[in-house]
Amino acid sequence: MTQKLKYLSRIKDEFDSVICGVNGVFMRGEQTDETAVHTLIKLYQSGKKVALASNTGMRVRDLYYDLKQKDVPMNIFYAMITAGEIAHFYLKNTQELGRSYFNLDGGESKAAAGLDYSVADSMVLADFVLAESTNAGINTAEVMPLLEQALHLQLPFLCIGNNTSCVGANGVTESIGAIAEQYAMMGGKVIPIGKPDARIAGYLAEGMQGFWARRCLVVGDDMATDMRMGNTFGAKTLLVGNGVHQLSDNIEKRLNDLSAAYGLNVDYVTETLVW
């Protein structure tokens, strides 16, 4: 049974660590939610270990400096991981994809930067296709001709960040996970990297002494990525309702419908992150 929360402080004694998403939790695209950041500061001051797990295509160092420039106090975070960092490690150590890629976002991949890969100007010169999650959104219909060409060439699609939608200053837009889903439905091979893979939570938990999953709270705004990762990992879960699902009206009923549709359990739901 999901419990609706107004103040996170009401349940702070039920967990010791927090694995938190970024966009939709305390960021809205480029905009910082100061109330949510204050809540994370209070968690840190309460002795909780707060870790970040983001499906951004940025590497960890880039996300660190990006958030720092937005006046997010980075000393409150125990650890960080991004889909871009995982993809960088994967690309560094794999031989199965070839060495040339076509970037659906255009230009050089953040995850592949500094590695022995080249950007193909044309799909026919590529060994694989990739796209990286950004907060800007993307239009699946616009890239359909590229997907059809990639499918014809039997190119694998490396999806760096699995969110099908993201929330920004102008509302909810599609993200690259929607493109990957479309490519898979067309019969293409997709290699997904990022949440909901529970190994991400496991990586963050490795350095936490005395860690116990049932004393960990996974906070995010996306059922398919954040809440699924929390369920698979065996942690408690908190869905931020004003993220991608926009649960502002009749929040409990709508969440029950989402839980049934996704086959997931959500322990807590809140409209926005408030201490």
Which distant-in-sequence residues (6+ apart) come within 8 Å of 140 by Cβ? 174, 178, 179, 182
Place 106 in a pLDDT band, splitting at 50, 70 and 90: confident
Q: Do 149 and 206 sit in the same domain of this protein?
A: no
Mean pLDDT of all residues belonging to the chain:
94
241: pLDDT strictly greater than 80: yes
Examine the domain organization and report whether 179 and 200 are in the same domain: no
Tokens of 76: 């409150």
> Sorting pLDDT into bands at 50, 70 and 90, what band is 133?
confident
Q: Which one of 66-80, 102-116, 122-136, 253-267 scores highest in mean pLDDT? A: 66-80
Residue 238 pairs in a beta bridge with 219, 268
The pLDDT value given to residue 137:
60
Q: What is the pTM of this model?
A: 0.95
The count of structural domains within the chain is: 2
In a domain, 89, yes or no: no
pLDDT(135) > 60: no
Contacts for 249 with CB less than 8 Å, ≥ 6 apart: none
Q: Which of 161, 193, 225 is the last residue of a domain?
A: 193
Mean pLDDT across 205-218: 93
What CATH number corresponds to the domain at position 167?
3.40.50.1000
Same domain, 139 and 14: no
Q: Position of tokens 């029950």?
A: 256
For residue 159, what are the contacts with CB-CB under 8 A and spacing of at least 6? 130, 131, 176, 177, 179, 180, 190, 191, 192, 193, 194
Is residue 10 assigned to a domain? yes
Does one domain contain both 98 and 189?
yes
Residue 89 has pLDDT above 70, yes or no: yes
Share of the chain above pLDDT 90, in %: 84
User: Looking at the structure, do residues 76 and 210 belong to the same domain, yes or no?
Assistant: yes
Question: How far, in Å, CA of 75 to CA of 72, rounded?
Answer: 9
- Among residues 171, 193, 215, the one where a domain terminates is 193
Q: Write out the residue range of the structural domain in which residue 177 sits.
A: 94-193
Is the model's pLDDT at 136 over the cut of 70? no
Q: Are residues 58 and 188 in the same domain?
A: no
**Residue 218 falls inside a structural domain:** yes
Is residue 90 predicted with pLDDT exceeding 70? yes
Same domain, 39 and 129: no
CA dist., res. 136 & res. 169, Å (int)? 10
CA angle 167/254/52 to nearest 5° reads: 40
